[in-house]
Chain A
Amino acid sequence: MVWSRRSRQPMGFVESAFEQYHAGLHRFLMRRLRSPHHAQDLAQETYLRLLRMDRQELVRKPQAYLYRIASNLVYEFKLRERNEPISFDSEAAEQAVESPATPATADASDGVSLHQQLETVLGQLPPLYRAVFVLRKRDGMSYSEIARTLDISVHTVKKYLTRAVAQCRCARWDR
């Protein structure tokens, strides 16, 4: 499954990494934002599998391998949970694990969607943080293009993005 690409980003390293990053994993993680401790099993097992990998291979594409391993694990967890005999119609299984069309939106049962809550957190960040964020995510600008546009340093651009992501990650989520 390939997710939509930003308009101006060239197809490259990041994109290929995200191709491995399946929607099932994404939805799993988004739910875990609300109850952080539940991601620990996944992280623990992912970590162990990363360590078992060939080092050279891992260094070549760490992000892609990380997503792939974690994705596979989410899939395994699902299979185990359902306590079904594993039948190797892998395509059907993937369909069951991943939601086909809308990777970004939360489960309908969540009431106020997690996505809306994230947007709210973003809206509470200082205006320049938001400007940097939107120029990157909406307009697909490179860090140096953003730096030029706002007349700040590339370092500052990255710093704002870093803090924006971290604050969204650490926000308190109410159901």
Chain B
Amino acid sequence: MSWDRPEALAEEAAHWLLELEEPDGATLSRFAAWLEISPRHVEEFLLASAVWKEFDHVDAARRLDIERLVEEARGNVRTIGTADPAVTTAAASPGARNRGIRRAALATAAATLVVAVALWYAPRGQPQSYSTVRGEQRALKLEDGSVVYLNTQSRVEVAFSKDVRVIRLLEGEAMFNVEHDAARPFRVMAGPTVIQAIGTRFNVYRSAAGATVSVVEGVVQISPAPASAAQRATDTPTATLPASTGAAEPHLARVAAGEQARILADGEIVTHSVPDLAQIVSWRERRLVFRAERLEDVAMQFNRYNSVQIRVEDEALREKQITGVFDADDPRSFLQFLQRDSTLAVEDGGGEISIRRRPDH
């Protein structure tokens, strides 16, 4: 396995430590799943714990003055300056009180925070479309406070009305952090499928094979879209839930936290539990986590993020099982991992990399 950025794992460990200080309902099982990924995760968590513990008596003499630190931060605004160009431009936050402190906070965090874009300028009823190119990720903050994280090569259309919040996932993958609003259901339409959520966190991935819905928190309801909405992608959605359109028995499913539903091309829904919730959300840290997955699928995942395309040449090789955690932006570290297997030959042609079985094996 390869971890090219040990700091990233250290940060993840610290994240869990701090979540556990004030845990919510799902924290424990998600943390347990995270620990089970590898010994490195265990190690980093232990080391983060040691650091945190070591600071139990920090500034016992109370020499540090919070007011002064805040003033200092304010003074730094000018010198810290430009934000990371990769970060989406921030719109002014409405009702931002105490601008000095807030601006200081933003400037300090510029390099690390994904600043959400406020979308409430969009006129009501006009669907707004947002997309990412290969390798890009982006966070959208919606007018109701919900957040959509767009993964690489993805496109959504946001159509909110006073009765219903509809998002169409036209391509790719998105994670949704839904603010609860009983009066306005939140629906994600992925092709012929509607996913309805109430105050929850879930991920939807559309691929050629259909769609996959993974629920991190709460429950979602999956049902077929009404025929009209499925066909005309730009239609203004109606507030009513899609009723059965009469034909065959509609496929319905309730998917709870820790479960994943695959919606096949014919509409059939297959639900199973996810051994590792961290795996679902890992893409937001640009990490790819594989547990005994087919080499061909693994290659396909890397290809979503990178212009360098990996090809698995031998039929039999496509079924080879891969387990490991990789940096989505670094297909070559994955290839190094593969090269440790002496039965494989990796040919790096610059823009395209092919993997085949060595002739003598």
By a beta-carbon cutoff of 8 Å, the part of chain A in contact with chain B is 3-4, 6, 13-14, 17-18, 21, 25-26, 29-30, 32-33, 36, 39-40, 42-44, 46-48, 50-51, 55, 58-63, 66-67, 70, 103-104, 114-115, 118-119, 122, 126-131, 133-135, 137-138, 142-143, 149-152, 156, 158-166, 168-170
Contacts and interface: CB of A to CB of B under 8 A. Distances in A.
Interface in B86-133: 97-98, 101-102, 104-105, 108-109, 112-113
A67 B108 CA distance: 34
Interface of B: 6-7, 10-11, 13-15, 17-23, 28-29, 31-32, 35-36, 38-60, 62, 64, 66, 69-70, 72-73, 76, 97-98, 101-102, 104-105, 108-109, 112-113
21 contacts: A13-B20, A14-B20, A26-B50, A32-B47, A39-B43, A47-B41, A55-B32, A59-B29, A63-B31, A66-B42, A118-B51, A127-B76, A135-B66, A138-B59, A151-B98, A159-B113, A161-B14, A164-B14, A165-B17, A166-B10, A170-B6
Contact of A159 (B56, B62, B73, B112): B112
Given A29-B46, A43-B43, A127 B31 contact: no
Nearest to A149: B66
B9 to A, nearest CB: 9
Contact of B32 (A39, A58, A70, A103): A58
B25 to A, nearest CB: 12
Contacts of B7: 166, 170
Contacts of A158: 15, 18-19
A28 B244 CA distance: 63
Contacts of B50: 26, 29-30, 33
A169 B10 CA distance: 7
A162 B18 contact: yes
B178 to A, nearest CB: 16
In terms of DSSP, what is the predominant structure of the interface of chain A? helix
Contacts of A149: 66
Contacts of A51: 36
A87 B70 CA distance: 56
A122 B192 CA distance: 52
Contacts of A131: 66, 69-70, 73
Q: A-B pairs with the 8 shortest C-beta distances?
A: A43-B43, A29-B50, A165-B14, A47-B39, A127-B72, A131-B69, A166-B11, A62-B32
A118 B69 CA distance: 19
Contact of A14 (B21, B40, B47, B105): B21
A32 B51 CA distance: 11
B109 A168 contact: no
Nearest to B11: A166
B47 A29 contact: yes
Contact of B18 (A3, A29, A127, A165): A165
Given A14-B20, A138-B58, A165-B18, A127 B73 contact: yes
Contacts of B112: 159, 163
A161 B39 contact: no
B55 A62 contact: no
Contacts of B54: 26, 30, 104, 114-115, 118
B47 A169 contact: yes
